[in-house]
Amino acid sequence: MAAPTSDVEDPAPAPRFRTGGMVPSAWALPDVLPTDRLSATGMARPAVREPLRRIASWRNVLTVAALWVTIAALFGVASWLDHPLGYASLFVLMGPMFARLAILGHEAAHRLLFRNKKANDLVGRWLLDYPAFVPFDVYRRVHFAHHKDEFGPNEPDIPLYAGYPVPAASWRRKLLRDATGSSGWKNLKPLFTSWKSKPARPVVARIWATQLVLWAVIWIGTGHGWLYPLCWLGPWLTVWRVLNRLRAIAEHGGMERSKDRRRTTHHIRQSWAARFWIVPYRTGWHLAHHTDMGVPWRNLPAYHQELVDSGWVTEAYVYPSYWQFWKACASA
């Protein structure tokens, strides 16, 4: 899952995008499917798939509520401390909070947050995506194109994923653009320019209305009107862009077009630190998500274990840590 991202690197010679630079060796991808539990594509057979596809609606209600309570508490504690270190901590910690809004918004885009479709889309729009400056319905359409044919001719995110590994200097430039707000501004700018488009105007108006409400709530709740631009908009433009890139590249960076999802999607061993900062809500089990995008987030580890037990996912395919993966990304 990648949040809408702009990633313009120096002009490249034809072909426009280089792919496949980080695909695992063939010996790490054994041909062991189908089995009595998995089909030839890795999708679970009906009896196995049925429990894996159950949506825990009420538990997800609590998850969304807990996220917003956490965000409110972070702003409340920072304003109560009223100290530069408190505001600096809020600025940094809002990066992982935006990651959580994005991941739950991604779940809603897949219609996997709640069994009730109207509730799923209502929460997905107004409590998850609009607060994070994401046009929910546009994102859903673009994201489904990503799932339909990763790295294919209509892949919307290929500028973000292609070209890896890159030289270390290029890797640093990308992260610097993210950290300084350059990438964030490229993502925010369309919400200003889209006012010229009559079809886009209603969605843009809803997003900005949501932001004004958030600004008012933060101002009234803390007594500091400047906290919204500093610690809501600011982290979205900077910290979140860095985390979003690190996660997105860890999902598909350097892979290639293939019906074998092990050649389109990475799997990296999960740690508590990674789950806190960049891959909350079990989104780090991304191979399982792409093998069957109808499995809700809570069930991805169980589904991944099915892939491991079948012999389809091997130790040679799995990166031992995100840090080692990112080092490999910058090894060209």
Q: Can you tell me the distance from the alpha carbon of 269 to that of 301, in angstroms, rounded to the nearest whole number?
A: 11
Report pLDDT for 221: 97
Identify the residue whose tokens are 């994401």.
134
End-to-end CA distance of the chain: 25
Can you give the pTM of this predicted structure?
Answer: 0.93
Q: Compute the radius of gyration of the chain from its Cα atoms.
A: 20
The three-state secondary structure class of 38 is strand
Domain range annotation of the chain: 26-329
Nearest to 283 by CA among 98, 100, 68: 100
C-beta of residue 255 within 8 angstroms of C-beta of residue 263: yes
**Residue 203's closest CA among 136, 255, 268?**
136
Provide the residue-wise pLDDT of the chain in tens; the chain has 332 residues.
555 444 444 444 445 789 999 999 999 999 999 999 999 999 999 999 999 999 999 999 999 999 999 999 999 999 999 999 999 999 999 999 999 999 999 999 999 999 999 999 999 999 999 999 999 999 999 999 999 999 999 999 999 999 999 999 999 999 999 999 999 999 999 999 998 899 999 999 999 999 999 999 999 999 999 999 999 999 999 999 999 999 999 999 999 999 999 999 999 999 999 999 999 999 999 999 999 999 999 999 999 999 999 999 999 999 999 999 999 999 98
Q: Give the pLDDT score at 264.
A: 98
